[in-house]
Amino acid sequence: MNVISLFSGCGGLDLGFVQAGFNIVLSNEYDSRIWETYETNFPSHHLIKGDIREVNEVDFPDEGIDGIIGGPPCQSWSEAGNLKGIDDKRGQLFYDYIRILSHVRPKFFLAENVRGMLADRHHQAVSNILTLFDRAGYNVRMSLVNSRDYGVAQERKRVFYIGFRKDLDISFFFPRGSTCHPSVRVTLRDAIGDLQHSAVPASGNYHNPEAVNNNEYFVGTYSPIFMSRNRVRSWDEQGFTVQASGRQCQLHPQAPKMEKVSENKYKFKEGYEQLYRRMTVREVARLQGFPDEFKFIYDQVNTGYLMIGNAVPVPLAREIACAIMEALANSSNTNYEQRIYTR
C-alpha cells in the first residue's frame, strides 16, 4: 500500500509504517537540518524539501495513494508552550494537511499531535478540525494514547486522528498496545542498559568524533526550570517524554532520583553528583524505538535531540500501521480494540 508522508521529520512515523509493510512514495520536510538524516535512512523515498504551505497540492499524486500520514508541528499546542493552538501559524498547518488530503483523497489518513491540543481552550479549534475532516469525506476517530503501552520505554502521551474515507464504511478502533500490561512494559534497563559505559560528552556541544553511533550527551549547566522537578527515572521504570532539546534532556538512570528542596526546587543527591548526566543522543533514540542502524547526522548535538524528540516512536507507529492495514484488508471486522499487536 502506498503512502504519502507529511511533516516527516527524521522519519519515526515513516519507519513504523515501512516496518508494517507500507510503501512511502513521497515525503515532505521543512527543516533543512534534517534532510540528510532522512535521505540517508530512506534513500528510495522522494523527499520534497521545503515549506508545505508553498507546495501546491497538485504536486502530490491523486492516484494509487492509499494513505497520508504525518504530524503537523506541535509547539503551539504544547502544554509546556504558550497554548496558542490554531491562532499560531504552526497550528494552522493542520489546514495544509487537510488541503492536501482533500486533493489526494486516499483511503485513510493519520495525523499525530501533543495532548495539549485537548486543553479546554482548544475545544472549538479541535471541533473545527474534526468538521473539516468530515467535510473532506472521512470518518474520524481521535484517540489519546501512552507510548509505554506500545513497546516503548517511555511515558509519552499523544493524540492521534485516524480517518477512513466514508465510502469504505470502515469501523476502526485504536489498537490495544502490545505492552499495555505493566508486567511486559519495556524498561530503561531493557532499552539502554548496554550503553551506559560507552557514553561520551559532546565536544562543546558539537558532534564528538569519538562517539560511537551517536552515543554522546549534551553538556552544560542546568536551568532553574530544569531543576524545578525530578528528572531521573530508575532503571526499572519507563523514561520521561523525550524532549526535542539537549539542554532539557532527562538524566540517565545511573544517578539517584533528585531530592526535593522546596515547592519548585530539586537538587542532586549529595555525594553522587558525578553520576548525573543527560542521556545521549543514541539513548533517547532507543527510547523512541529507533534501531541502532538508523543514522542521525548533525554538526550540533542539539540537532540530534531535536529530530529524535519530535519523532513518533517507531514501535507505536508500527502497531498503529498494522491495525490500519488489517482494517483495510478486512473492513467487516470491528473487533480491533480487543486485539494485541505484537512488537
The residue extents of the domains of the chain are: 2-181+314-338, 188-309
**Residue 285 contacts residue 308 (beta carbons within 8 Å):** yes
Q: Which range, of 30-34, 62-66, 75-79, 318-322, averages the lowest pLDDT? A: 75-79
Of the candidates 10, 74, 249, 322, the residue annotated as catalytic is: 74
Residue 20 has pLDDT above 50, yes or no: yes
333 pLDDT band, cuts 50/70/90, is very low
Q: Is 322 a catalytic residue?
A: no
Q: How confident is the model at residue 171 (pLDDT cuts 50, 70, 90)?
A: confident
- With a pLDDT cut of 90, the percent of the chain lying above it is 76
Confidence of residue 341 (pLDDT cuts 50, 70, 90): very low
Average pLDDT score over residue span 215-220: 96
**C-alpha to C-alpha distance for 99 and 133, rounded to whole angstroms:** 10
- Report the DSSP pairing between strands 23-29 and 47-49: parallel
| Mean predicted confidence (pLDDT) in 144-168 | 95
Per-residue pLDDT for 37 more than 80? Answer: yes
Are the C-beta atoms of 217 and 281 separated by less than 8 Å?
Answer: yes
Residue 342: band (very low, low, confident or very high) from pLDDT cuts 50, 70, 90: very low
Position 338 pLDDT exceeds 70: no
pLDDT at position 32 over 50 = yes
Q: 81 pLDDT exceeds 50?
A: no
Please give the residue that has the higher pLDDT: either 70 or 75: 70
Mean pLDDT over residues 213-241, rounded? 97
- Tell me if 66 sits within 8 A of 104, measured CB to CB: no
48-54: average pLDDT: 89
Q: State pTM to two decimals.
A: 0.89
Average pLDDT over residues 316-339: 76
The more confidently predicted of residues 126 and 252 is 252
pLDDT score recorded for residue 337: 41
Q: Percent of the chain, pLDDT > 70?
A: 90
Can you give the pLDDT at residue 58? Answer: 82
pLDDT at 265: 97
Average pLDDT of every residue of the chain: 89
* 188-309 maps to CATH 3.90.120.10: yes
Q: What is the mean pLDDT of residues 138-167?
A: 95
Which pLDDT score is estimated for 170?
93
CATH architecture of structural domain 2-181+314-338? 3-Layer(aba) Sandwich (3.40)
pLDDT of residue 275: 98
pLDDT confidence of residue 340: 37
- The predicted model gives 133-159 an average pLDDT of 94
How does pLDDT run across 190-209, given as a tens digit for each residue?
999 999 999 999 998 999 99
